[in-house]
Amino acid sequence: MRIFRYIDENGNITLAAMNDQNHMFPLAYRDFLHLVEEAEKQGVTPLTLVQQSIQNTSPLETSLEQLQLLVPIEAPEVWAAGVTYERSRDARNYEATGGKLDAKTFYDKVYDAERPELFMKSTAARTIGPDGELYIRSDSNWQIPEPELGLVLNKEGKILGYTAGNDLSCRDIEGENPLYLPQAKIWKNSCSIGPVIRLAETVQDPYSLQITCKIHRNGEKMVEGTANTSQLKRKYDELVSYLIRDNIIFDGTVLLTGTCIVPPNEFTLQDGDQVEIEISEIGVLSNPIRQRVKQTASVS
């Protein structure tokens, strides 16, 4: 069962569920967290509550693609794990050593270390949903999407659901100096999540999800990559346990679990590109790329 939000024909923000037959049903809950809260109050799981709610209702007569979708949850914070897949470790080594293949750096250390790399990626105001515009930075010449599985958490760190996320990143800024990581990761519209949240209880094996990323330019496919969450070095609970350690996190926090797909080293995103991230059992998160007007620092 997948949960999403859209704007209905009267302009109302509506929560809805999509079942395994792709039938979609509006729900009477304000948002995803309200649904989870009501399920808890009634002593049932979110899946049971949704099944009860849609029992005698008719499905929407449209498709997901035709709806005006919104971000499935206004996550107060989006955190991210890094260097959780070999592919990411190798790409980070490449950019940190000015393009050496097979170089060894501190990224090897973090890949093997007990403590994972975790960083703050985004906030609700910086995060966009399906079909929203992702902005590339004006001061970077090497920018790529990072397709990642996202965990939707409650404030105790329980995994409520799974979504797709794009940890848009600047390889040149990150490679120049690891202390620049926040600038390589966080800016306006640098993160997207969606299109849906798959209820955790309806995912049989979150370690066997197929992730595909495609980038189109002027109608032509420039990049296509595929990987699987079975290649993840760590466990989801392990990442969450470090996130919540001595920390405060909020209901609806999203934790991105790291990238397993990196475009070829010579590739950088451009204005007008279209990025599609597909995760099996979740769906396709699609976003256009926009280059905003170049900003130069001025000192008066």
Q: Pick the closer one to ligand DO4 by CB: 95 or 251.
A: 95
Closer CB to ligand DO4, 117 or 251, in the complex: 117
Site string for Mg ion, 214-253 (x = CB under 5 A): ----------------------------------------
Using the structure block, give the residue that is written with the tokens 């993160």. 191
Provide the b/e sequence for 213-251 (b: ≥16 CB within 10 Å). bbbbeeeeebbebebebeebbbebeebbebbbeeeebeb
Q: How far apart are CA 54 and CA 60, in angstroms?
A: 11
Contact call for residue 273 and Mg ion (CB under 5 A): no
Q: Does 92 bind ligand DO4 (CB under 6 A)?
A: yes
Residue 83: name its binding partner from Mg ion, ligand DO4, none (Cβ under 5 to 8 Å by kind): ligand DO4
Which range, of 51-59, 78-86, 136-144, 289-297, touches ligand DO4 by CB under 6 A?
A: 78-86
Q: Does 88 bind ligand DO4 (CB under 6 A)?
A: yes
The token pair at 273 is 């590109």
* Binding site partner of 31, from Mg ion, ligand DO4, none, Cβ cut-off 5-8 A by kind: none
127 neighbors 133 (Cβ within 8 angstroms)? no
To the nearest whole angstrom, how small is the minimum distance from the Cβ of residue 256 to ligand DO4? Answer: 7
> H helices of the chain, where?
32-42, 46-54, 86-96, 106-112, 171-176, 181-185, 236-244
Applying CB under 6 A, does 95 fall inside the site for ligand DO4?
A: no
Stretch that binds ligand DO4, among 76-84, 213-221, 246-254, 263-271 (CB under 6 A): 76-84
Tokens (6 digits) for 50 = 């949704």
Using CB distances below 5 to 8 A depending on partner kind, what does residue 117 bind out of Mg ion, ligand DO4, none?
A: ligand DO4
Least CB distance to Mg ion at residue 188 (A): 18
**Nearest distance from C-beta of residue 117 to ligand DO4, angstroms:** 5
**Does 167 interact with ligand DO4 (rule: CB under 6 A)?**
yes
Buried b (16+ CB within 10 A) or exposed e, 259-297: bbbbbeeebbbeeebbbbbbbebbbbbbbebbeeeeeee
Q: By CB under 6 A, is residue 82 in contact with ligand DO4? A: yes
The reply to whether 117 sits near ligand DO4 by the rule CB under 6 A is: yes
3-state secondary structure of 127: strand
Compute and round to an integer the Cα radius of gyration of the chain: 19
**Interface positions with Mg ion (CB under 5 A):** 146, 167, 259
